[in-house]
């Protein structure tokens, strides 16, 4: 018998002062049985850092032709393609052809560094690609505050990010491997 996805409910209050974006989002995330808590929080972090009315979770784990998150315009064209983890450079190249902007949020400590070292040359050749590594200290701090039902505040100002619930505030610092978070 196959395992079922775990459903997480999130109410996000986002104040992105750098982009002038202020909005609340109510999300339902399905945690795939093969997905770790760390991957779920990195997906959630990617949503918060790129929040937009048209940003949506896709089926990246189960559908090869979809990312983890994406923004589509009214014509169906992909304006933003977001991968979470350590994707194959061929997949990233295909995504960069389909989307105006492609982003990777890598995580995993040493394995993320090994992935970058092995694929840096291929990835740096892709023009519309941004890569940010989420340090293990950040992803683990976020894992500690994530629950099945959560209410989180995300504040972004002067390139600094804080994510907080009613008890804990987590400063988020990313290591930029390629490009910058601002479009």
pTM: 0.93
pLDDT tens digits for range 9-31 = 999 999 999 999 999 999 998 88
Q: How confident is the model at residue 62 (pLDDT cuts 50, 70, 90)?
A: low
CATH tag for 6-178 (out of 3.40.630.30, 3.40.980.10, 3.10.640.10, 3.10.290.10): 3.10.640.10
pLDDT tens digits for range 36-50 = 999 999 999 999 999
3-state helix/strand/coil string of 82-147 = EEECCCCHHHHHHHHHHEEEEEEEEECCHHHHHHHHHHHHHHHCCCCEEEEEECHHHHHHHHHHCC
- What is the chain's Cα-based Rg? 16
User: Dihedrals φ, ψ of 82, to 5°?
Assistant: -120, 125
Residue extents of the structural domains in the chain: 6-178
Please say if the pLDDT value at position 82 is more than 70. Answer: yes
Compute the average pLDDT of residues 102-116: 97
């Amino acid at each position: 018998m196959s395992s079922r996805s775990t459903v997480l409910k999130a109410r996000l209050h986002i104040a992105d002062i750098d982009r002038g974006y202020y909005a609340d989002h109510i999300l339902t995330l399905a945690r795939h049985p093969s997905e770790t808590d760390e991957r779920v929080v990195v997906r959630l972090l990617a949503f918060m850092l790129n929040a937009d009315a048209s940003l949506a979770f896709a089926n990246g784990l189960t559908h090869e032709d979809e990312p983890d998150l994406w923004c589509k315009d009214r014509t169906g064209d992909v304006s933003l393609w977001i991968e979470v983890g350590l994707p194959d450079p061929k997949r990233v190249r295909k995504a960069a052809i389909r989307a105006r902007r492609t982003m990777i949020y890598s995580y995993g400590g040493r394995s993320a560094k090994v992935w970058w070292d092995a694929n840096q040359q291929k990835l740096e050749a892709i023009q519309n690609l941004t890569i940010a590594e989420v340090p293990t200290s950040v992803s683990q701090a976020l894992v500690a505050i994530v629950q099945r039902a959560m209410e989180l505040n995300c504040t972004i100002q002067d390139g600094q990010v804080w994510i907080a619930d009613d008890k804990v505030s987590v400063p988020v610092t990313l290591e930029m491997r390629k490009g910058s978070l601002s479009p």
